[in-house]
Structures are given as C-alpha cells and as structure tokens.
Amino acid sequence: MSEQPLTIETLIRFHREVVMPDVWSALDAQLKSINFRFDEVFSHFDGIYQRFDRLESEFQSLRAAVGRVEDRLTQLEARVSAIESKLDGFALRSEIIELEFELSRLQERIARLEREVESRESGTTS
C-alpha cells in the first residue's frame, strides 16, 4: 500500500466514495419506508373521502325523500280536514233534519190539540 499523505482532498474523496453511498443507501431505505407509510395514510384518506361521498349522497337522497313525505303528509292533512268539514256538515244536516221532524210532530200535536179544544168548545156551546 502506498503511503499517501492525508489531505483534505483525500478525506473528501473517501467521504464521497465510501461514506456517502452508505448514507444514501440508508437514507433511501428510510425514505421508501416513509413513502410507503404516506401511501397507506393517503389510501386511508381516500377511503374516508369515498365514504363521505356515499354518506353525502345518501343524505341528499334521504333529504329529498323526507321532503316528499312531508309534501304527501300536507296533502293528506288537507284531505282529512276536508273530510272532517264534510262530516261536520253532515252531522249538522242530520241534526237539522231531526229538528225539522220534531217540529212537524209538535205542529201536528198542536193542530190536534187545537181541534180538540174547538170540538169541546163547540160541543159545550150547543
């Protein structure tokens, strides 16, 4: 082995040819490991975003369905109110019919009583 003097150029060359390839190799392995972990994290984020997209779509669908149900419920309430008012009118009409029937019975009874009174009066005066 030849004895070369130890100079800064020799140290730089040693550093460049021997030390740095090992450092770059170790650093490259670490960077690959870090990149692999970032890839895992990014894939998890992608999965989460996909779930959020599905949930957002389902939410919008449910929101539209609830709107349709509310509209239908409003229509049904209006129909029920109309039916109730018709039934109230029907009950009122039936009460009026009953009252008219009772009034005609009372008028007939009054007329009969008036005839009886007239016949008694005419029988007592003769």
pTM equals 0.44
Greater pLDDT, 2 or 11: 11
User: Would you state the pLDDT for residue 64?
Assistant: 95
37 is a domain residue: no
Whether the predicted pLDDT of 100 surpasses 80: yes
User: Would you state the pLDDT for residue 2?
Assistant: 62
In terms of residue numbers, what domain contains 50?
43-126
64 is a domain residue: yes
Distance CA 42, CA 25 (A): 25
- Rounded mean pLDDT, 83-106: 85
The two tokens of residue 9 are 């150029």
Q: How confident is the model at residue 126 (pLDDT cuts 50, 70, 90)?
A: low
Task: Tell me the chain's radius of gyration from C-alpha atoms.
Answer: 53
Q: Which of 79, 26, 61, 124 is nearest to 53 (CA)?
A: 61
Count of structural domains within the chain? 1
